[in-house]
Amino acid sequence: MSDGFDQEKREKGVKKEKLNWFLRIITLGDRFSVQDFYDRVKKGFVEFLIVFFGVLVSFGVESQGEDFGDRQSNIDNLIALRDEITEIQLYTKGFIEENKWIIETYNKLYSQWDEDRDSVFIFIDPSDDLPYSPLSFYNNYNPFNPPRVVYEAIKLDGTFRFLGSEVGRFVNNTYDGTDLKYLMLNTDREEKVYVDQFEGQVANKWIYDLKNIDFYDVDFWIKNRKYLQKEKFLKYNLFKRLLLWTQISEQLQEYDTTLEQNIKKLDSEIQLKDDEWVFVYWWF
């Protein structure tokens, strides 16, 4: 009988009025039960763990998502840079061919400068068999200005740092290297010096000595060929410009080699990134 009463007491608990102040605070209802209190503590602890680990996992997934996004952004940047550098190489090769033609044409002109014939300054265009003079467009020059849209965009959006130090160095060298800067300087400011000298000679001397100056008129170069052959300033200007074009040719070849090497490096880096396994993990 006594055991049954004790069992009933344990199950039903102690009335709240008989409890001390602390137990009253934590007691729900009108009775306090040790078993009930223990069950509620376990339940609360489990719920706490669920919420805690849920939040922790959420932060971990978000962090990994950001890392994966950065990785994908890096791969996209590498591909875009590779494609643009390939475009730069095509541009450079076209520039090499143009420079080669210029050197060959004006070297021929310089070598025959003193020949005693009226057509000494006249060449035949093989594409249409029409006569022309290379001096007709002697005041033209073409600055080397390769595309750099992708490079500038990556620098502006702050993702350049994802490339890594090694890749960043050779990419910088491709777009802003010292050799490229000298090449751009030679094809722009340095060449403009000789163009300005030529145009200055025309403006300050030819207009007083010659009539009807028309560079695109073949007859102009034929009628005035003896005067032009004696124009030592022009011949010396051409000599100096040929030296500059030869230097530019060497710079173009070196830059083309650099581009080829860097394209291969980017291809290798892209392949390496594509072959990487991505693991999702969390640090506790």
User: Would 45 be classed as within a structural domain?
Assistant: no
pLDDT in tens, the chain (284 residues): 455 445 544 555 665 555 555 555 555 555 555 556 566 666 666 666 676 665 555 544 444 444 444 567 788 889 999 999 999 999 999 999 999 999 999 999 999 999 999 999 999 999 999 999 999 999 999 999 999 999 999 888 877 777 878 888 999 999 999 999 999 999 999 999 999 999 999 999 999 999 899 999 999 999 999 999 999 999 999 999 999 999 999 999 999 999 999 999 999 998 887 776 554 444 44
Reference 106, options 129, 143, 137; nearest CA is 137
Question: Running DSSP on this structure, what letter comes out for residue 127?
Answer: T
User: Would 14 be classed as within a structural domain?
Assistant: no
User: Would 13 be classed as within a structural domain?
Assistant: no
Q: Taking the model in full, what pTM does it have?
A: 0.73
Reference 19, options 7, 31, 8; nearest CA is 31
Task: Give the DSSP letter string of 146-159.
Answer: ---HHHHHHHHHT-
Kindly give the residue spans of alpha helices, DSSP state H, lying in the chain: 2-12, 21-26, 34-111, 149-157, 165-176, 178-185, 191-201, 207-209, 218-223, 225-229, 232-275
Sign of CA dihedral 112, 117, 123, 124: negative
User: Would 22 be classed as within a structural domain?
Assistant: no
User: Would 163 be classed as within a structural domain?
Assistant: yes
Taking the C-alpha atoms of residue 94 and residue 90, their distance in angstroms, rounded to an integer, is 6
Give the residue numbers spanning the domain of 82: 53-275
User: Would 97 be classed as within a structural domain?
Assistant: yes
User: Would 29 be classed as within a structural domain?
Assistant: no
Domains: count for the chain: 1
User: Would 236 be classed as within a structural domain?
Assistant: yes
Taking the C-alpha atoms of residue 32 and residue 12, their distance in angstroms, rounded to an integer, is 8
Reference 149, options 157, 161, 139; nearest CA is 157
